[in-house]
Chain A
């Protein structure tokens, strides 16, 4: 039996999210909200939404399990993924985003941004080292200058704060 993971996995995620939301609505201290003229309180509306999500997710899971065969999905360019390398590329990019955000304040925008942009150009398929370096550095500098002069905003300076003083 082949189960359609494209329905099962989001269905399970939906069940998880819906259950969490439903639990949160009960945990909410709604005493403050309960006395608003007898209408729906601050937890009531999200509870309705959690039930809608739970119902739809349950339907999705049941549909995937009952059919037991791969559903005819509408053709979508986004979902046509042939090998695992493409997933790895997105994963590496995402990891890059995480590291970038963690280091941005400490290292500084001007130092940390070019490596991230370089990583993206490499992942897209660019192999010319000069193009990669020039693209990363130029874009970083141009945007830094624009934000500094047009919006009067200094992006995180990081270690450069100590170097420049």
Chain B
């Protein structure tokens, strides 16, 4: 009890006006970019990251977290009004929010989404504060072998993100890891692969890489699409009667939030999975399962509470173990690195004050999301009326300025276009982009600890690993995580072939009987 009160006291004392302002800006930006179909919190965080260079650590991370939280909610507005998911994680929200809107309950659906987002975010924030420090206390005793294994486990998330082709995902991940080797060797300081450019001695510029891979490639893809405009015809407002659902549907909010935190804390499984899983659970537990998909408020609660709770869940492995739990969190991790804060267990002991500030900002963000999200619905809906050409021009200008501001080198712009071209080519040939970023972020941690492990074990891998059971277990988990999608694909194919054969033999039997 005393410890809990101490945590509350620490959180209150860590609140600063600059963090609250940064969080408000982040939430507004997040909702804005979440409302725009095809864009999402990932692009928002990438666009904002250069500006964090000029901020103190806590407001900088608060800005990024605000975009993350706001972006998740913004997608629900588009799902309700236009019937298209503003972000991938709001796809499950759409199933019931859009039918609700078609029945004239658009305001109710959006208000419910805001309440669920608020509940999920605040709940995940509390879990984040309570669990991450305990996890960090365990992880602080980890040596290079354990850290290397954990980084490898994070890298196997590549398998989960390689939709369609594991091989392409592995190439993308290895490309990201290779890019991370450019510059000074982390152990000896020896310069590698810098092409004779002094600008590359410190490595590839993180912002140019993120902006190029995601933002420039997205811009080029958007340019290719036919000219389009969105027509939002539904009127939106606040439905205060929806606040009454907090009592009778409390367990629905809680269950969805628990699912969100749980799924979110598994590296890179992501909030889209959590919202669909939570939606299915809500349907299974419901007394009216037939209403799901036809405008059932419980469906909106399940999806929105879960995908918002993912935000806190995904931060747990990143802060406590240094493994990003989600692509947006990988960008937030980049933001921490820019601020000189190295994610992982040591962060809890060396930068405890900054971390408490980040926790406080996260909770404040969750709380502010409700009034801001509801009060500004009509304002954000107007964004949909802005022509796409103007929005893309503004995004391009932000990309250029953002990249240039970091070091004020024209060379960074060349890096930006290079990674933009790589990202564009990857999208066109069906390569996933996230593994490149995961590889780039986790690469240095993985390399340093892998090489330290090889030094310590002096050639006796099995003998050394026998003394490190935690590392061994994590390595086995990593192997399972990597092989699971392959086994699943083979199993599905085998079942399909068997079914086809069985169908064929039935048809043969039928034809012989007829003859």
Is residue B385 within 8 Å, beta carbon to beta carbon, of the partner chain?
no
The answer to whether B451 and A39 have CB atoms under 8 Å apart is yes
Quick one: given A38-B455, A49-B181, are A105 and B175 in contact (CB under 8 Å)?
Answer: no
The answer to whether A104 touches B175, judged by C-beta atoms less than 8 angstroms apart, is no
Tell me whether B420 and A97 are in contact (CB under 8 A). Answer: yes
Q: Does B239 contact A (CB under 8 A)?
A: no
Interface size class of B (residues with CB under 8 A): 35 or more
A165 at the interface (CB under 8 A from B): no
Tell me, in angstroms, the Cα distance from A24 to B196 when the chains sit together. 13
Q: Is the CB of B174 within 8 A of A52?
A: yes
Closest A residue, CB atoms, query B428 = A79
Q: Which of B177, B417, B459 contacts A98 (CB 8 A)?
A: B417
Q: Which of B8-16, B92-100, B223-231, B272-280 contacts A (4 or more CB under 8 A)?
A: B223-231
Q: Of all chain B residues, which has the CB nearest A126?
A: B389
Task: Tell me, yes or no, whether A163 is within 8 Å of chain B by CB.
Answer: no
Residues of B within 8 A of A90 (CB): 220-221, 223-224, 424
B429 CB-CB contact with A under 8 Å? yes
The smallest beta-carbon distance between B14 and chain A, in angstroms, is 25
Total A-B residue contacts, Cβ distance less than 8 Å: 181
- Whether A28 is near chain B, meaning CB under 8 Å from some CB there, is yes
Task: Kindly state whether residue A19 has any CB partner on chain B within 8 Å.
Answer: no
- The complex places the Cα of A53 from the Cα of B171 at a distance, in Å, of 6
Residues in B neighbouring A6, C-beta threshold 8 A: 428-430
Which residues of A (92-130) have their CB < 8 Å from a CB of B? Answer: 93-94, 97-98, 100-101, 104-105, 113, 116-118, 120-121, 123-126
How many of chain A's residues have a CB under 8 angstroms from any CB in B? 72
Chain B positions 130-180 with a Cβ under 8 Å from a chain A Cβ:
163-164, 167-168, 170-171, 174-175, 177-178
B400 pairs with A46, CB closer than 8 A: no
Known contacts A45-B450, A105-B410, A131-B387, A86 near B224 by CB under 8 Å:
yes
Flag A127-165 by CB within 8 Å of B: 1 or 0 each. 000011001100110010001001101010000000000
Q: Does B164 contact A9, Cβ atoms closer than 8 Å?
A: no
> Could you say which of A24, A33, A44, A123 contacts B190, with CB atoms under 8 Å apart?
A33
Q: Does B193 contact A (CB under 8 A)?
A: yes
Q: In the assembled complex, which residues on chain B have CB atoms less than 8 Å from the CB atom of A118? A: 393
- Measured between beta carbons, the chain B residues less than 8 angstroms from A136 are 393
Chain B residue nearest to A46 in the complex (CB): B181
How far does the Cβ of A120 sit from chain B's closest Cβ, in whole Å? 5
B95-114, CB under 8 A of A: which get 1 and which 0?
A: 00000000000000000000
With A60-B167, A81-B224 known to touch, is A113 a contact of B400 (CB < 8 Å)? yes
B223 and A74 form a contact (CB under 8 A): no
Chain A residue with Cβ nearest B216: A97
Q: Which of A49, A59, A87, A132 contacts B167 (CB 8 A)?
A: A59
Instruction: Give the residues in chain A near B427, CB-CB below 8 Å.
Output: 76, 78-79
Complex contact A101–B413 (CB within 8 A): yes
Q: What are 24 pairs between A and B in contact, CB < 8 Å?
A: A6-B428, A10-B429, A36-B455, A39-B456, A42-B185, A42-B192, A46-B193, A49-B174, A52-B170, A53-B178, A74-B163, A79-B428, A86-B224, A98-B417, A101-B410, A101-B413, A101-B417, A117-B397, A120-B223, A120-B396, A121-B392, A121-B393, A136-B393, A155-B404
Give me 19 other A-B pairs in contact (C-beta within 8 A), A101-B414, A124-B222 excluded. A6-B429, A10-B168, A28-B192, A33-B190, A37-B458, A38-B455, A46-B181, A49-B177, A79-B428, A87-B224, A89-B224, A101-B413, A120-B223, A121-B390, A124-B223, A135-B390, A143-B397, A147-B401, A153-B405
